[in-house]
Amino acid sequence: MKNLLTAFLIIFSFEISYSQNVLEVLKKDHTLDSSKVILPDETYKRIDQVIVQILSNYHYRKQKLNDSLSSQIFDQYIKNLDNAKLYFLKSDINSFEKYRYQFDEFLMNGELTIPFEIFNTYKRRLGERIKYVKKCLQKEFDFTTDETFTPDRENADWAKTTEELDELWRLRLKNDALNLILSGKDWKGAAEVLLKRYQNYHKIILQYEAEDVFSLFMNSVTQVYDPHSDYLSPAASENFSISMKLSLEGIGATLRQENDYTVVAGIVPGGPAAKSGLLHEEDKIVGVAQGEDGEMVDVIGWRLDDVIQLIRGKKGTVVRLLIIKASDGPNAIPKEIKLVRDEVKLEEQAAKSEIMNIQHEGYNFKIGIIKLPSFYTDFEAQQRGQQDYKSTTRDVKEILKKFKEEKVDGVIIDLRNNGGGSLQEAIQLTGLFIKEGPVVQVKNMMNIIEVDRDPDPEIYYEGPLAVLVNRFSASASEIFSGAIQDYERGIIIGENTYGKGTVQNLLDLNRHIPIAGKKLGQLKLTVAKFYRITGSSTQHKGVQPDITFPSPYSADEFGESSQPSALPWDQIQSTQYQKYSDLSKFIPLLIKKHQERAKKDPEYHLLLDDIEEIKENKEKKVFSLNEAVRKEERNKAEERKKKKEEERAKILGVDIKNKKEVDDKSSIKNDYEVKESARILADLIIARIG
């Protein structure tokens, strides 16, 4: 149990090993047979029953299979198959309804016939849609009419007739075609792209085997327990093993699916995407091509796993991506970028530092900035007994030593976009800033609470401290920032954090079902929960900053609380700890000074404009299918973007032609949040002196 509770946290990312499965499928000239029935392998009955037993007995929730859970699994499975309600008919759903409260019995008995039958129906409906796509694209659309398209169908009802579904698809295809035409294609070119898009997707689904369907269904089961429990098929297990290694091959990005799009969820520090500066969070990947001149494969509407397969490749090879930048809005023209796949090495994810000199209220300050992309440690080197192995705490300790030599007045730990990592490193890093005491509490599924304490009785840095966080700061980042806040050792600045306060353990199913010569995959299981030293869980709520910066993301749309099956927030008994100081009395003054500066700060108002534009783009639900209207909207968006770039360049004092310097978000000179955090920390220093 001790090993379980001290397990390090990893934000699961599909890092890139070499596979050409999808490309091979697309190159094959095979007969498309949507009526071919896929049946479950007898092995899956045993795997199913073991997974259900483990979930029922060892998942933190301790939730037994019953009719209520059966209903949730039913809905989740249908959603995973047809999220946008564009394939199944209302009659299909009605025919499935009789099984809504039987999935618990199916799972306990290892009976998979009905889930496979539902998938086979989906595959048949997909074949019908491809036939309609071919028919619909034979005639050019009229882009002068005032029709509209609504892509978000989450709250829409299922189409009752084939004719109703045809109309939904006509509008969908018309919108897709208009996007392509606005990007420079003529009607013939647009129709060819769309036909190939859906034919390619059809080919991939037709290549699904029993293992793929079983994995899809079992993940619908795990998802209703919580968002971080997963069944990893043998192929997915291999992906996960690659993601756990110290060096990773690929583009260095984590992906998620949002309606028809593959969206960048995060950028791995030190990876090709991060180094290039060409790909960012929330960008949409709409096309993937291999090498310098490979054909661009349109991936709109594809399943996430299949897009990931296409992006994979060997170190040193080129992948080209067609992306819609999040900053450009939904009507933007896609841009092609080129990345060279490479290893994401541990040293490239290491802490980085910089010293900022600022003049503030008549004083000169030297503020040390430590950018921490993740909580890392070289486990292999540590296990080998290597004395100088790399770790977060060791690297930060060296940086703090240099800061002391430089006689900095204060330190900022920048945890923005830090999705977590080693729990032990979060504890040890906290120990550099406190003398002694508890750092985090961990409660397992047996309600046993373990208190993890600072292992070092010394305090390494005693000076003024601030921690900068955002909505993408999660897990270990929340443990560190929460402890610093609870001890009132430093001030927390930025956005509310993600809110992931759970621990996962990885179980090898071959140990539970020994079948000779057959890999059975793994189960990633939520087994424990984190609590702050106050007793408050980091789950769901995350860490709320002392001084808040505006954010384009709400908890409802991004964060643990946006997940329907997320474990709830709760509270346990507080630990015994001694606060480092009484910073809370200064917070009202710091907020007041920050707000007064913000009113007059042009950079702050540019930030608000950016956030407002992002929110407007997200809130737009209905799109015109009139070419003239869409062109006008796009032109206005381009003009607005150009004006903002000119304003930003003027404020920062740089040449607008030097666009790289203007867009370089890693530079402190262009980073409003770091600069304002330094001013807030300076306010604290002055207040404590006075």
How do the residues of the chain divide into helix, strand and coil, expressed in percent and rounded to 5? 45, 15, 40
Residue 28 to residue 310: CA distance in whole angstroms? 15
Query: Nearest to residue 479, comparing CAs of 458, 453, 505?
Result: 453
| 324 touches 182 (CB < 8 A) | no
Residue 421 to residue 474: CA distance in whole angstroms? 9
Q: Within a 10 A sphere around the Cβ of 153, how many other Cβ atoms?
A: 17
- How far lies 491's CA from each of 385, 475, 486, 513, 581, in Å? 37, 19, 10, 50, 11
Cβ-based burial of 413 (10 A; exposed 0-12, middle 13-18, buried ≥19): buried
Residue 84 to residue 81: CA distance in whole angstroms? 9
Tokens of 619: 């809130």
Residue 553 to residue 329: CA distance in whole angstroms? 15
Catalytic residue positions, numbered:
475, 486, 500
Helices (H) and strands (E) in the chain, counts: 22, 21
φ and ψ of 359, to 5 deg: -105, 125
Residue 531 to residue 539: CA distance in whole angstroms? 8
Q: Within a 10 A sphere around the Cβ of 301, how many other Cβ atoms?
A: 18
| 243 touches 10 (CB < 8 A) | yes
Tokens of 451: 């208190």
Relative to beta strand 248-250, strand 342-344 is antiparallel
Indicate if the alpha-carbon torsion angle 350, 351, 357, 358 is positive or negative.
positive
Q: Within a 10 A sphere around the Cβ of 68, how many other Cβ atoms?
A: 13
Q: Render 438-507 in DSSP notation, one character per residue.
A: EEEEEEETT--EEEEE-S-SS-S--S-EEEEE-TT--THHHHHHHHHHHTTSSEEEES------EEEEEE
Residue 117 to residue 40: CA distance in whole angstroms? 10
Contacts by 558-561, CB closer than 8 A, 24 or more apart: 558/471, 558/498, 559/471, 559/496, 559/498, 559/499, 560/227, 560/498, 560/499, 560/500, 560/501, 561/499
Residue 631 to residue 120: CA distance in whole angstroms? 41
Q: Render 32-87 in DSSP notation, one character per residue.
A: --TTPPP---THHHHHHHHHHHHHHHHSTT-PPP-HHHHHHHHHHHHHHH-TTS-S
Q: What letter does residue 156 receive in the DSSP assignment? A: P
The owner of tokens 């070419």 is 627
Tokens of 102: 């039987």
Q: Which amino acid is at 549?
A: F
Tokens of 336: 């092609």
Residues across the chain: 690
What is the 3-state secondary structure of 508-534?
EHHHCCCCCCCCCCEEEEEEEEEECCC
Residue 193 to residue 200: CA distance in whole angstroms? 10
